[in-house]
Structure 1
Amino acid sequence: MGASVAGRCRRGAGGGGRRSAAIQYTRLPRRWVKPSASLVLALAAACAAAGVPRGAAAEVAIAVKGVEKELAEQVRVYLGEPGSEEPAAVAAFQRHAPERAREALEALGYYRAQVAAKRRRTDDGWRVVVRVDPGEPVRVRRMAVCLSGEAAADAAFANLESRLPLKEGKILHHGRYETSRQLIQNLALDRGYFDGRFTARRIAVDPEAGTAEVRLCYDSGVRYHFGPVRFADSPLAESFLERLVPFERGEPYTAEQVAALNRALLDSGYFSDVRVRPARGAASGGVVPIDVELTARARHELTTGVGYTTDLGARVRLGWRRPWVNRRGHAFALDTEIAERRQNLTASYTVPLRDPLRSSLEYQLGVQALDVADIDTEQISAAVQYRHRLDSGWQQTLFVRADEERFRIQDDWRSTTLFIPGASWSRVRSRGGLDPHWGDRQTLSVEATDPWLGSDIELRRVRAATRWVRTLGDRHRFRARAELGALDTGPDAFDDVPPSLRFYAGGDQSVRGYKFQSLGPKRDGAVIGGRYLAEASLEYGYQLTPKWRPAVFVDAGNAYADWDDLSGEAKVGAGLGVRYSSPIGPIRLDLAATVGEPERSWRLHFSMGSDL
């Protein structure tokens, strides 16, 4: 017994007088005929035409029985609605309902349907019941797809028939036929066959036999090649913009390469809007020019931000950027942060190299002051960095940095000058925007220096970190992180290692339940930092609503003076918290407790920013 699909229409709901309509499909058994318009267009026409005059009040209930799901919905859409509740209008609707229902079912391959419609008056108005016996569907007995022109030798068209949604032995679904036709045409356009056309688009239906033959023949013509890339007015030199083009003039055209150019221009950071399209009207001789319209970003950009973390207290951030300083694509940025326990100012100047999206030189100058517990630092840094994005997606950075750091640990003031060459590798993957539901971040850095480079001390340092976010079943979010670090210096030189290069643990992004940089080797009760670092964390969050996510977590780790201490001096913090997905990223509030301490203590942690 088929399910019943009922609908109720009220006059006056539409925007004016409308009548139901459908696009018919002509059946000529055993002959090739050109098919009707697509199923989508038929549905749209029926929906647009269905309606009742404005100003009426009575209702007409329409029920479709004998079919369910897609068939029932198709029939219901094709039926439309009566013009009014007047007996003549309802009678006319009933009289035409079987024909419309059969048309609806033919679009889905059911050509032998039996349909009857009855009407009756009820206390609530008219009720029309349409009973449908769809019968056996027509199936595709033969599906012929033929190609001519240069596409016949194009590997992208190999086994094309197997990729089409309409196949031999399947029901003759006209929507899938139209999709198949469109797929062929779209593939041809994506591959640069701009002169292509169908030489045959026919369906032959034999309703009595319950079979159909489909024939799609496409003549692609010649394949076009890339011509010149024509840039609209831009503050950047055309010679520089051409370095962002991922293809060469004369290469065979592909829509994928056009999209890659669009992405490259947007990813460059110079433009707020980019439109790239083939100038097909100007194509000739098998060559198509590419037109690019560009909207440059504002030459001066100001950013501001306020926030609070339990590690650093209240803070204000200000930034000024010039996305393009000159026509060669140079960029400048100035960022400052003023927090209760840390203040810094950083200026950077970026020079794009031969491949601007992959390689650049960056010059940096920064000053920073930090006041945490028994440690004060004042640091000036200057660096030159060569950044290069590898084919694997990793970002490689080679750098030389000069640090002048004056620092106090307890009452001992020292100053250290270092010239440090080093390298780092990082990769970030994420899905879900500012509050990613999937992603990971990997980082590795190595740096070293020696007195023969002009540094005050010998030093070698390695740090590796990993962070993971995964979501199961849409609601169960897991976050894991781990970090290892090691520092090697001369036997009597550790006291001259500046705090910025020592290892500490504790705080919002470390072992929660403990204060910021409160874990590590101590001297006379003051934390002096360690030579080694080992941390790990595991967190589970449940997506209660689209914005709110409660969580539980456990953190473990410490900073150590000796490698042998790693197994016995780890600190553990655990607790619960809540996450709110704000327009500027997740906001986290955690209540964490120390675990295994003689006296358990609780600490509230508040932070903002991505989980990666």
Structure 2
Amino acid sequence: MDIWKRSLGNNRLLPSLLAGLILTGILLFTHFATAADITIPYEVEIKGVEDRELLKGMEDIADTVGLKDNPPATVALLKRRADRDKEQFERLLRAMGYYSGRIEVDVDQDDRPAKVVFHIETGPVYLLKSFDLNLGDQPELKQEDLLLSPDRLGLGPGTPFRAGQFLNAEKKVIENLQMMGFPFAKISERRVVVDHGDRTVTAALRAEPGPTAQFGRVEVTGLESTNETIIRRKIPWKEGDRYNEVLLELLHKDLVELGLFSTIAVSHGESLDEEGRLPVRVAVKERKYKSVGAGISYRSDEKLGVNFSWENRNLLGEGERLGVVATFSDLTYAAEASFRRPSFFREDQALTLSSRLAEDKPDAYTSRNLANSALVVRDVTKALKIGGGLGFKHARITQLGESEDFNLVSLPLQLSWDRSDDLLDPTKGGRLGLQFAPYMDLSGEDLQFSKGKLNYGHYLKVFRSPSIVLAGRVTMGALSGAERLEIPADERFYGGGGGSVRGYAYQSLGPRVGAVPTGGKSLLEVSLETRVRVTEKIGLAFFMDGGNAFEDITPSSGEELFWGAGVGVRYFTPIGPFRFDIAMPLDRRDGLDDAFQIYISLGQSF
């Protein structure tokens, strides 16, 4: 300790020691900072590939392409990266049928940036000479029985041989055998022989179908509050029917659509039972079936709108839904309750009861109303639904200073067809909605009229990267059977607003008395929108809407469409796109229309 004290006491030694430490730190910092900054930027070129599918496949798997923005620190590492890609390319050439292909790679480190060039001689693609399918332990089965000819498998004589097509054929053979009652079918042998002499490939598969089976007992596990009957009603086979794997997949899909379970597993047993039947197990885990929600929206005409909801998705244990929604905005105060009973007399049919108490107060009128309805909807197909029922509505409506009471009985009919790919963010397919209802007033007035409305939207993805979707919509409506002003004001047609013609205030388009909209007997709206996905989270929309409501069932010569145009931003979330639109009226009316309108909500506009 004394020696250490004496050393520190030396005035010349301490400054020298500190200076040495500082200099060492500076040198180390400079070394690591410089090392971190040294990289070998480079360019990549793939030469000699005319097959676009092959070229894209190479670009997709190449580290030299995918990691180009993260260049290596040394030329040796760059060469190693290129050599790995060469091996990947050679495997891809063979998988695509180019069995005589050759690859050379050059790394020119003298250029700045460095150049990585792949020189590829693909050679000719080898053609399939023959394909043979052997069904092993079921010699009485023939390839024709599977409805899988070589041509349907993409393995017809003379076609370019693709490894992916061959693997896909394996999958189809197994799927078809499982559809025909062979649950344990498997591929026991695969053979590919390449003949470099005539540049052909001979391919063969040997399948072992195994024993045939019939459906056996179904065991359901995991239920807590849900009645097992709701699952058993969905089973699309009877015990003793020939086994078909597709029916298991169909049951799984139908159970998912119930919305009652967080996890679902439908599987068959590992062996046949003593009766030669195959047991099936359905294992589920129930999801929480009660939920509380809140939503918010903003429109220039409506200002801030909020809603609160509560729902029980399994009220009586068989998937019954009871929901309550309360909505508050400058345009409406409403409370609505609905009850849905699935499997109403038929498995493909549902009963919906609804009741709505509201005060609606757009610029056109004020309506204090209570509306009740009972509707039965049947699933004709997965896409097509039809429905009909009975409705009653009591309303006191005030327009232009005059109030009138109505007690309307209606027979609503509806048809919906939906082949779109997503509820809130569709990118392909179409949607059709058709509603029609005759009305009769029980208030003592001899008022009868009919109301119909048709809406169709279509979606087309024109580019995948970046994703660009063209969306179009047309809406038509008509009222008949009574004079326009005899029909209740809240049943007439109006145009304008976020779901109609953006750029114009809600229900501001159509016949007017002074500044007050009075509604029309017919409606026509059209929309065209281009949706661009800029990043994974951000999208843009460019749109034009047109529409108007008309005094008669057909537009007169003096009535034209009003047009609006605008742009929007989409922020994509797990529950759908968050939408912000700003639109301007192209046919702005002095004293009536603002310079622009803003719309904020969840989901695409249509």
Which range, TM-score by smaller chain?
A: 0.7 to 0.9
Alignment of 1:40-59 (within 5 A): 59=76
Which AA in structure 2 matches 1:245? Answer: I
CA distance 1:515–1:284, change in 2 (3 Å): same
Deviation at 1:582, TM superposition (A): 3.3
Which AA in structure 1 matches 2:473? Answer: A
Give the gaps of 5 or more residues in structure 1. Answer: 1-43, 45-55, 66-71, 79-100
CA distance 1:170–1:483, change in 2 (3 Å): closer
1 CA distance for matches of 2:548 and 2:432?
Answer: 19
CA distance 1:526–1:73, change in 2 (3 Å): same
The C-alpha deviation readout for 1:84-109, integer Å capped at 9, x for no partner, is xxxxxxxxxxxxxxxxx8x9988887
Deviation at 1:312, TM superposition (A): 2.4
User: Which has the larger displacement, 287-296 or 138-147?
Assistant: 138-147
Match of 1:559 in 2: 550
1:438, 1:470 within 8 Å by CA — same for their partners in 2? yes
CA distance 1:167–1:58, change in 2 (3 Å): same
1:534, 1:566 within 8 Å by CA — same for their partners in 2? no
Which AA in structure 1 matches 2:217? Answer: P
Residue among 283, 287, 309 paired with 1:319: 309
Match of 2:605 in 1: 611
Residue among 447, 455, 461 paired with 1:458: 447
CA distance 1:266–1:566, change in 2 (3 Å): farther
2:338, 2:353 within 8 Å by CA — same for their partners in 1? yes
Residue among 570, 582, 588 paired with 1:590: 582
The C-alpha deviation readout for 1:527-581, integer Å capped at 9, x for no partner, is 3323x12222232425261423241414132231x34653322341232222414
For residue 568 of structure 1, give the secondary structure of its aligned residue in structure 2.
Answer: coil
Alignment of 1:519-530 (within 5 A): 519-523=509-513, 526-530=516-520
CA distance 1:390–1:456, change in 2 (3 Å): farther
CA distance 1:130–1:270, change in 2 (3 Å): closer
Alignment of 1:353-392 (within 5 A): 353-354=343-344, 358-373=348-363, 375-391=365-381
Which AA in structure 1 matches 2:209? Answer: S
Alignment of 1:270-281 (within 5 A): 270-281=260-271
Residue among 212, 216, 222 paired with 1:227: 216
Matched, 1:184 2:167: no
Which AA in structure 1 matches 2:87? Answer: R
CA distance 1:357–1:438, change in 2 (3 Å): farther
Matched, 1:293 2:283: yes
User: Which has the larger displacement, 56-65 or 464-473?
Assistant: 56-65
2 CA distance for matches of 1:484 and 1:524?
Answer: 24
2 CA distance for matches of 1:279 and 1:106?
Answer: 39
2 CA distance for matches of 1:120 and 1:393?
Answer: 58
Deviation at 1:191, TM superposition (A): 4.1
Task: Give the number of equivalent residue pairs.
Answer: 521
For residue 76 of structure 1, give the secondary structure of its aligned residue in structure 2.
Answer: helix
Match of 2:492 in 1: 502
CA distance 1:213–1:266, change in 2 (3 Å): closer
2 CA distance for matches of 1:246 and 1:320?
Answer: 33
Alignment of 1:307-346 (within 5 A): 307-346=297-336
The C-alpha deviation readout for 1:18-58, integer Å capped at 9, x for no partner, is xxxxxxxxxxxxxxxxxxxxxxxxxx9xxxxxxxxxxx988
Which AA in structure 1 matches 2:570? Answer: Y
Match of 1:34 in 2: none
1:311, 1:508 within 8 Å by CA — same for their partners in 2? no
User: Which has the larger displacement, 351-360 or 260-269?
Assistant: 351-360
For residue 431 of structure 1, give the secondary structure of its aligned residue in structure 2.
Answer: coil
1:418, 1:456 within 8 Å by CA — same for their partners in 2? no
Match of 1:440 in 2: 430
Match of 1:479 in 2: 472
For residue 353 of structure 1, give the secondary structure of its aligned residue in structure 2.
Answer: coil
Matched, 1:545 2:505: no
2 CA distance for matches of 1:256 and 1:441?
Answer: 27
CA distance 1:576–1:115, change in 2 (3 Å): closer
2:582, 2:599 within 8 Å by CA — same for their partners in 1? yes
1 CA distance for matches of 2:534 and 2:84?
Answer: 32
Match of 2:133 in 1: 145
Match of 1:424 in 2: 414
Alignment of 1:251-266 (within 5 A): 251-266=241-256
2 CA distance for matches of 1:603 and 1:120?
Answer: 58
Deviation at 1:195, TM superposition (A): 4.1
1:364, 1:382 within 8 Å by CA — same for their partners in 2? yes
Which AA in structure 1 matches 2:577? Answer: G
CA distance 1:472–1:455, change in 2 (3 Å): farther
Match of 2:65 in 1: none
Q: Percent identity over the alignment? A: 17
Alignment of 1:196-211 (within 5 A): 196=185, 201-202=190-191
CA distance 1:252–1:410, change in 2 (3 Å): same
Match of 1:449 in 2: 439
Which AA in structure 2 matches 1:270? Answer: L
For residue 262 of structure 1, give the secondary structure of its aligned residue in structure 2.
Answer: helix
Deviation at 1:368, TM superposition (A): 0.8
1:435, 1:586 within 8 Å by CA — same for their partners in 2? no
State the TM-score, normalizing by the size of structure 1. 0.73
The C-alpha deviation readout for 1:110-165, integer Å capped at 9, x for no partner, is 88899999999999xxxx99999888887654433233528816866134333445
For residue 150 of structure 2, give the secondary structure of its aligned residue in structure 1.
Answer: helix
The C-alpha deviation readout for 1:260-318, integer Å capped at 9, x for no partner, is 11110111122222111112345554421221111222131111111112342211111
Give the gaps of 5 or more residues in structure 2. Answer: 1-60, 62-72
Which AA in structure 2 matches 1:405? Answer: A
Residue among 79, 87, 106 paired with 1:76: 87
The C-alpha deviation readout for 1:490-549, integer Å capped at 9, x for no partner, is x6x944x4332122222222334432222333346533323x122222324252614232
Match of 2:48 in 1: none
The C-alpha deviation readout for 1:227-276, integer Å capped at 9, x for no partner, is 23221132222223211122333332222211111110111122222111
2 CA distance for matches of 1:511 and 1:396?
Answer: 28
1:510, 1:535 within 8 Å by CA — same for their partners in 2? no
1:268, 1:357 within 8 Å by CA — same for their partners in 2? no
2:298, 2:598 within 8 Å by CA — same for their partners in 1? no
1 CA distance for matches of 2:511 and 2:124?
Answer: 81
CA distance 1:284–1:307, change in 2 (3 Å): farther
Which AA in structure 1 matches 2:506? Answer: F
2 CA distance for matches of 1:209 and 1:396?
Answer: 60
1 CA distance for matches of 2:592 and 2:443?
Answer: 47
1 CA distance for matches of 2:543 and 2:435?
Answer: 31
For residue 160 of structure 1, give the secondary structure of its aligned residue in structure 2.
Answer: coil
Deviation at 1:597, TM superposition (A): 5.0
1 CA distance for matches of 2:393 and 2:513?
Answer: 25
For residue 518 of structure 1, give the secondary structure of its aligned residue in structure 2.
Answer: coil
1:444, 1:462 within 8 Å by CA — same for their partners in 2? no
2:472, 2:529 within 8 Å by CA — same for their partners in 1? yes
